[in-house]
Structure 1
Amino acid sequence: MKLSHQFYASPQLSDSTSRTLPTPNLAFHSPSTECGVRPHVKSGRIVGGKGSTFGAFPWQVLVRESTWLGLFTKNKCGGVLITSRYVITAAHCQPGFLASLVAVMGEFDISGDLESKRSITKNVKRVIVHRQYDPATFENDLALLELDSPVSFDTHIVPICMPNDVADFTGRMATVTGWGRLKYGGGVPSVLQEVQVPIIENSVCQEMFHTAGHNKKILTSFLCAGYANGQKDSCEGDSGGPLVLQRPDGRYELAGTVSHGIKCAAPYLPGVYMRTTFYKPWLRSITGVK
Structure 2
Amino acid sequence: MVSKHTQYHRTMVTSQNTHLCCCYTLPLPPNLTFHSPSTECGVRPHIKSGRIVGGKGSTFGAYPWQVLVRESTWLGLFTKNKCGGVLITNRYVITAAHCQPGFLASLVAVMGEFDISGDLESKRAVTKNVKRVIVHRQYDPATFENDLALLELESPVQFDTHIVPICMPNDQADFTGRMATVTGWGRLKYGGGVPSVLQEVQVPIIENSVCQEMFHTAGHNKKILSSFLCAGYANGQKDSCEGDSGGPLVLQRPDGRYELAGTVSHGIKCAAPYLPGVYMRTTFYKPWLRSITGVK
TM-score range normalised by the length of the shorter chain: over 0.9
**Deviation (angstroms), 1:42:** 1.2
Contact 2:12 2:244 (8 Å CA) reproduced: no
* 1:184 to 1:10, Cα distance in 2 relative to 1, 3 A: closer
CA 1:184 to 1:87, structure 2 compared with 1: closer, same or farther past 3 Å? same
CA RMSD of aligned residues (A): 4.3
Deviation at 1:24, TM superposition (A): 5.4
Q: 1:59 to 1:15 in 2, by over 3 A?
A: same
Task: Work out the CA distance in 1 between the residues paired with 2:162 and 2:145.
Answer: 32
1:25 is displaced (CA, Å) by 7.2
| Kept after mapping to 2: 8 A contact 1:225/1:270 | yes
Show CA shifts across 1:94-153 (max 9, x none): 000000000000000000000000000000000000000000000000000000000000
1:3–1:232 CA contact under 8 A, matched in 2:
no
Q: C-alpha separation between the residues in 2 aligned to 1:47 and 1:216?
A: 35
Aligned counterpart, 1:21: 26
For 1:27 and 1:14, how far apart are their aligned partners in 2? 37
Change (3 A) 1:92 1:227: same
Unmatched segments (≥5 aa) in structure 2: 19-24
CA distance in 2, matches of 1:4, 1:134: 12
Equivalents in 2 of 1:190, 1:146: separation in Å?
26
Alignment of 1:100-139 (within 5 A): 100-139=106-145
- 8 Å CA contact retained: 1:183, 1:235: yes
Pair 1:74–1:13, CA change in 2 (3 A): same
User: What count of residue pairs does the alignment treat as equivalent?
Assistant: 288
Contact 2:13 2:188 in 1 (8 A): no
CA pair 116-25 structure 1, distance change in 2 beyond 3 A: farther
Distance 1:46 1:141, change over 3 A: farther
1:161 equivalent in alignment to 2:171: no
1:116 and 1:24, CA in 2 relative to 1: closer, same or farther beyond 3 A?
same
Distance 1:25 1:57, change over 3 A: farther
Give, in whole Å, the separation in 1 of the partners of 2:163 and 2:34.
11
Give structure 1 stretches of 5+ with no counterpart.
none
Sort the Cα spacing of 1:184 and 1:224 in 2 relative to 1 into closer, same or farther, 3 A: same
TM-score w.r.t. length of structure 2: 0.91
The alpha-carbon distance between structure 1 residues 48 and 219, as it changes in their structure 2 partners (threshold 3 A), is: farther
Shift of the alpha carbon at 1:7? 2.5
Residue 45 of structure 1, CA deviation? 3.5
SS in 2 for 1:274: strand
Do the aligned partners of residues 46 and 277 (structure 1) sit closer, same or farther apart at CA in structure 2, a change above 3 Å counting? farther
Does the 8 Å CA contact 1:229/1:267 hold for their aligned counterparts? Answer: yes
Change (3 A) 1:12 1:219: farther
Q: Give CA deviations for 1:174-228 in whole Å, capped at 9, x if unaligned.
A: 0000000000000000000000000000000000000000010000000000000
Distance in 2 separating the partners of 1:148 and 1:83: 13
**Displacement of 1:50:** 2.0
Q: What's the secondary structure of 2:287's corresponding residue?
A: helix
Distance 1:2 1:254, change over 3 A: farther
Contact kept, 8 Å, 2:56 with 2:200, in 1: the verdict is yes
Structure 1 length as normaliser, TM-score?
Answer: 0.93
Partners of 1:49 and 1:217 in 2: CA distance: 35
Using a 3 Å threshold, how does the CA distance of structure 1 residues 25 and 236 change in structure 2: closer, same or farther? farther
Q: Shift of residue 27 of structure 1?
A: 1.5
Gap change, CA 1:3 and 1:54, over 3 Å in 2? farther
Measure how far apart 1:37 and its partner are: 0.1
Change (3 A) 1:112 1:15: closer
Q: CA deviation at 1:21?
A: 3.6
Structure 1 residue 10: deviation in Å?
17
Kindly, what percent of the aligned residue pairs are identical? 92
- In structure 2, C-alpha distance between the alignment counterparts of 1:176 and 1:11, rounded to whole Å: 8
| SS of residue matched to 1:122 | strand
Check 1:45–1:202 CA distance in 2 against 1; reply closer, same or farther (3 A cut): farther
Superposed, 1:208-219 pairs within 5 Å as 208-219=214-225
